[in-house]
């Protein structure tokens, strides 16, 4: 039988998790331009990585002062990835994004007072260098938050700048005799009162990147962390706010121009350095406007919203809407994906504590294109709603005192649910949320179609079902997810794509006990295909596609 790609019959698996009504009855086909020959293209490491976002203050306290620290993170590296591919007890992530680690007057660290040092509450530079060594031993890369837009109002540069209008650092910030909005903050400079610009608050004065000395200084900072310390990259905070143009305070042309030279700068130091930007927007076009020649990727907030909305609403309309925009605005899927992050209510709270929906959300994230980021505690179902301190609570490791986070008094109390929602309790339950994450991450790493493959949206006859086909080189995987609480029968699938040659095909499950019927591709189309007699509530089913000889 003739076919364009010979699909290997692989030892199998079908994941079954579950969630509500999803259907792409009117969805069009989306194909990402992934490579068709794995020997021809070597993807950069971040294209196939699974990231894990860590707030060090809340991850693990090693010295009993109630504040998480670098040594505590080192203690828990084997939980994240023990470096042995043969073991299945670790989470299996490939990279860590650390929220700010620099000295700061705030608990969160986004107002930096020294870009060349480590927050002493977290440890020393020697501790951090040991973290890098231990992480790299296990194959874990580390990127750090880089706050370029502003400094702390307690940074020595700003203290000097506000002392006099002839200070060497005065023009490192933005000043006005008359504040024109809430972004301006009055202050005394010498004998006069003037206003300085701080988009986020008076404690975070914006840097003036129209002054080349500021660019030179921040490039020096970036070079230090790459060349001297050895980090693998950066997450750029508030990237869209870097340079204002008149009343326009985000996504200005000057901001794009600055990041173009910044991209050339850091790639000139090391092409293997990865930079992902925070450009918060529901517009998928932002991912292409900044990526490629300004940063390697930015986070796709529209995709995140689609994943969570489909899991919560039990309908594929959320992810279907996001995909329809993505296929028009960012069809290469070159962006970072996530469910929720440190600025948003935790996904488990958004899903009202429904573990089945959390499993489905995880499956949508980890079977879709893009580079996925998991927020610490998401894998066990930690809850949290604003204020921000409550979405950044200490990690829940055990059912013991202080959830195993500290032997002291935690800087923020855990939620009362830690007696049941914790790593130790969930690891011994085969069907737990954490073991679902482990399975999905392992599948993504062992099946290139799930991490680096083309993507075809599959139309379904019921909005409770989401389906997609992913293909890379000689492997294809069919994804079928029941987003609903209802067992669904007789659901038919249809798609049009030239990724697979016309012919007859069978499916081998990647996890679970289901057997699926075979299908035929004719004129590059599949129609009225019913793979399963019934699809269990809240289930995720993954199948390898095999050619029938």
Residue 29 or 522, more confident = 522
Q: Give the separation between CA 70 and CA 51, rounded to whole angstroms.
A: 18
List residues bridging with 479 in a β-sheet. Answer: 468, 542
Query: Catalytic site residue 502?
Result: no
Tell me which of 18-22, 64-68, 82-86, 242-246 is least confident. 18-22
CA angle 161, 167, 169 (to 5 degrees): 50
Which residue out of 278, 356, 378, 379 is catalytically annotated? 278
Determine the average pLDDT of the residues in 264-287: 93
Which pLDDT tens digit goes with each residue over 501-517? 999 999 999 986 678 99
Q: At what angle do helices 301-313 and 355-367 cross, to 10 degrees?
A: 140
Averaged pLDDT of the chain? 91
Other Cβ atoms within 10 Å of 212 Cβ, number? 8
User: Which residues are CB-neighbours of 83 under 8 A, at least 6 positions away?
Assistant: 137, 138, 139, 140
CA 524 to mean position of chain CA atoms: 34
Q: Is it the case that residue 22 has pLDDT exceeding 70?
A: no
Using the 8-state DSSP alphabet, how is residue 376 labeled? T
Active site residue 237: yes
Contact by Cβ (8 Å): 348, 312: no
Question: For the chain, what's the residue count?
Answer: 549
pLDDT tens digits for range 113-144: 999 999 999 999 999 999 999 999 999 999 99
Per-residue pLDDT tens digits for 185-222:
999 877 788 999 999 999 999 999 999 999 999 999 99
Catalytic residue among 237, 244, 426, 442: 237
Task: Evaluate if residue 18 carries a pLDDT over 90.
Answer: no
Distance CA 375, CA 345 (A): 11
Question: What's the pLDDT band for 540 if we cut at 50, 70, 90?
Answer: very high
Question: pLDDT category, 33, cuts 50, 70, 90?
Answer: very low
């Amino acid at each position: 039988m003739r076919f364009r790609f010979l699909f290997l019959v692989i030892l199998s698996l079908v994941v079954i998790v579950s969630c509500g009504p999803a259907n792409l009855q009117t969805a069009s086909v989306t194909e990402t331009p992934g490579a068709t020959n794995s020997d021809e293209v070597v993807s950069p490491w971040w294209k196939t990585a699974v990231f894990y976002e860590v707030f060090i203050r809340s991850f693990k306290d090693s010295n009993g002062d109630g504040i998480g620290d670098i040594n505590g993170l080192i203690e828990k590296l084997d939980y994240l990835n023990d470096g042995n591919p043969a073991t299945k007890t670790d989470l299996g992530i490939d990279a860590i994004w650390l929220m700010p680690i620099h000295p700061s007057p705030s608990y969160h660290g986004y107002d930096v007072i020294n870009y060349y040092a480590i927050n002493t509450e977290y440890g020393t530079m020697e501790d951090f260098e040991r973290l890098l060594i231990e992480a790299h031993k296990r194959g874990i890369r580390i990127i750090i938050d880089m706050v370029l837009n502003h400094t702390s109002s307690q940074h020595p540069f700003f203290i000097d700048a506000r002392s006099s209008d002839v200070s060497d650092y005065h023009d490192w910030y933005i000043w006005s005799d008359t504040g024109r909005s809430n972004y301006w903050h009055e202050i005394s400079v010498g004998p006069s009162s003037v206003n300085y610009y701080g988009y986020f608050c008076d404690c975070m004065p914006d840097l003036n990147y129209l002054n080349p000395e500021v660019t030179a200084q921040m490039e020096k900072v970036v070079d230090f962390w790459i060349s001297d310390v050895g980090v693998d990259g950066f997450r750029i905070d508030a990237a869209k706010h870097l340079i204002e143009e008149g009343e326009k305070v985000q996504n200005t042309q000057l901001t794009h121009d600055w990041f173009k030279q910044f991209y050339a700068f850091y790639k000139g130091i090391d092409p293997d350095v990865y930079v992902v930007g925070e450009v918060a927007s529901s517009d998928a076009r932002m991912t292409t406007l900044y990526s490629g020649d300004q940063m390697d990727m930015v986070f796709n907030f529209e995709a995140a919203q689609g994943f969570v909305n489909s899991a919560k609403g039990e309908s594929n309309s959320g992810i279907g809407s996001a995909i329809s925009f993505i296929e028009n605005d960012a069809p290469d899927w070159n962006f970072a994906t996530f469910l929720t992050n440190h600025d948003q209510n935790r996904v488990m709270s958004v899903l009202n504590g429904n573990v089945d929906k959390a499993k489905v959300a995880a499956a949508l994230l980890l079977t879709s294109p893009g580079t996925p980021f998991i927020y610490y505690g998401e894998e066990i179902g930690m809850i949290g709603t604003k204020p921000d301190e409550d979405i950044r609570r200490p990690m829940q490791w055990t059912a013991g005192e202080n959830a195993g986070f500290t032997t002291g008094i935690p800087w923020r109390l855990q939620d009362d649910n830690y007696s049941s929602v914790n790593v130790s309790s969930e690891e011994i339950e085969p069907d737990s949320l954490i073991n679902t994450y482990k399975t999905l991450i392992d599948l993504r790493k062992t099946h290139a179609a799930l991490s680096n493959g083309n993507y075809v949206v599959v139309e379904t006859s019921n909005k409770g079902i989401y389906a997609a086909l992913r293909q890379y080189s000689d492997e294809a995987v069919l994804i079928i997810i029941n987003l609903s609480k209802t067992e669904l029968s007789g659901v038919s699938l249809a798609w049009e794509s030239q990724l697979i040659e016309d012919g007859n095909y069978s499916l081998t499950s990647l996890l679970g006990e289901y057997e699926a019927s075979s299908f035929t591709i004719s004129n590059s189309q599949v129609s009225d295909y019913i793979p399963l007699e019934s699809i269990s509530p809240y289930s995720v089913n993954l199948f390898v596609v095999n050619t029938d000889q």
